Amino acid sequence: MLLELKNISVAYFGSFLFKRKPFFALKNISFSVNYRESVTILGESGSGKTTLGRLTVRLVKPTEGKVFLKGRNIFSYGKEYTRKVSMVFQNPREALNPRYSVWEAVEEPLLVHGIKNRKEIVEKVLTSVDIEEKLWFRKTYQLSGGQKQRVAIARALALNPLLIVADEPTSALDLSVAYEILELFKKLKHKQSLIFITHDVRMGTKVGEKIIILLGGRILEISPVKEFLEKPLHPYGVFLLNNLPVESPYKRKGNLKGMELETLRDEGCPFRINCPYNHEKCKLFPPERIVKVENGERRVWCWIYI
Ligand SMILES: Nc1ncnc2c1ncn2[C@@H]1O[C@H](COP(=O)(O)OP(=O)(O)OP(=O)(O)O)[C@@H](O)[C@H]1O
Ligand SMILES: [Mg+2]
């Protein structure tokens, strides 16, 4: 096992002057990522995806629980942690310094870590993300959105990390470019572990082997993608597949109703207001249920399985 999150909660407390009660962006979540495994985190806007991504690269600290990389608490590593886990952000413009050339953007992390054979590495990663040689010495601001994201991915790959965390890496791009970047992730996925964060069911199920369904800061289901597509266990998974968009992956037929952030973050199941099986019991979040399947296991948090 490479990465393990154990009983993680992340609360935001508001500003110093305007202290509010804590808002739990993530609540008691646990999962693991194996070596070279690709895991999709699927969730609506506000479900806690970015918080989760930032947690794995130590940009956010857990309020409760611990995160381990190779069995060691991630906050016990020094700066070498940034060599092991790197992140690709939604908007490549924010990840790239416009004054840098493509080459410099990819070389910088190697310089920071004092790595020697830089020329060879930069050439190799730029080639692996299909950036043509004629672009290598162009400034990053002169690139298209898709090219920028390729360079940001090359930069994340430069230190040969054990894990890449990509937070909605395609959602700032035009659809056709988004699909090209998706193909790139499919090509790169078994070279290291990958956490692919998305709100898009179609894209998410194309990249990951395992899917984690997040809503209101809670994990509702963890399943191999194949099994999830055949038969989601959680009623929210059923809702997601029934409402798959027809014409565009950015639209969908149905939307969650009456889901205020505050009610999503109470002690109950965040899907219950929209759930056909809503019951008194659902005011309390259910314990985990493990279902064995051929190639591993599925985990679901729903009272109908208890
Ligand atoms: N720094 C912060 N302070 C207070 N609340 C925050 C902070 N960052 C995030 N939140 C809240 O935590 C919840 C989860 O936010 P997060 O950005 O992790 O969600 P997300 O799933 O990435 O959403 P999106 O799809 O819109 O990117 C949201 O309700 C958000 O408003
Ligand atoms: Mg986000």
Neighbours of 185 (CB within 10 A): 21
Q: Which residue did the predictor score with more confidence, 171 or 51? A: 51
Q: Does domain 35-59+79-208 have CATH number 3.40.50.460?
A: no
- Tokens representing 276 are 């056909």
Q: Is the CB of residue 86 below 6 angstroms from any atom belonging to ligand 1?
A: no
Q: What angle do CA 157, 159, 162 make, to 5 degrees?
A: 75
Contacts 24+ apart (CB under 8 A), 249-256: 249/175, 249/200, 249/202, 249/203, 250/175, 250/200, 256/44
What Å distances lie between residue 17 and 20, 48, 143, 270, CA to CA?
A: 9, 24, 42, 30
Model confidence at 254, pLDDT cuts 50, 70, 90, reads low
Ligand 1 atom with the shortest distance to the CA of 54: 18
For residue 6, which of 48, 60, 62 has the smallest C-alpha distance? 62
List pLDDT tens digits, range 207-216. Answer: 999 999 999 9
Ligand 1, atom nearest to 45 Cα: 25
**What's the gap in Å between 50 CA and the centre of ligand 2?**
4
Judge if the beta carbon of residue 261 lies within 6 A of ligand 1: yes
Domain boundaries, the chain: 35-59+79-208, 222-306
Q: Which residue has the higher pLDDT, 152 or 258?
A: 152
Residue 118 alpha carbon to ligand 1 centre in Å? 37
Q: Which two tokens stand for residue 298?
A: 């599925």
pLDDT tens digit string along 118-138? Answer: 999 999 999 999 999 999 999
pLDDT band at residue 249 using 50, 70 and 90 as cut-offs? very low
Tell me the per-residue pLDDT of 154-190, one tens digit each, with 9 for 90 and over: 999 999 999 999 999 998 899 899 999 999 999 998 9
Residue nearest to atom 7 of ligand 1 (CA): 12
Q: If you average pLDDT over residues 279-303, what whole number do you get?
A: 94
* Residue 221 pLDDT greater than 60, yes or no: yes
Write down the mean pLDDT value for the chain. 92
Protein residue whose Cα sits closest to atom 17 of ligand 1: 50
Q: Which ligand is nearest to the CA of 60?
A: 1
What average pLDDT does range 226-238 have in this prediction? Answer: 96
Q: Which of 218, 223, 249 is nearest to 238 (CA)?
A: 223
Which has the closest alpha carbon to 4: 62, 59, 67, 98?
67
The answer, yes or no, to whether residue 253 has pLDDT greater than 60, is: no
Q: In what order do the strands lie in the sheet with 64-69?
A: 23-33, 3-12, 64-69, 72-73
Task: Please report, rounded to a whole number, the percentage of residues in the chain having pLDDT higher than 70.
Answer: 93
46 lines ligand 1 (CB under 6 A): yes
Who has greater pLDDT, 48 or 17?
A: 48
- Summarize the confidence of residues 186-214 as an average pLDDT: 95
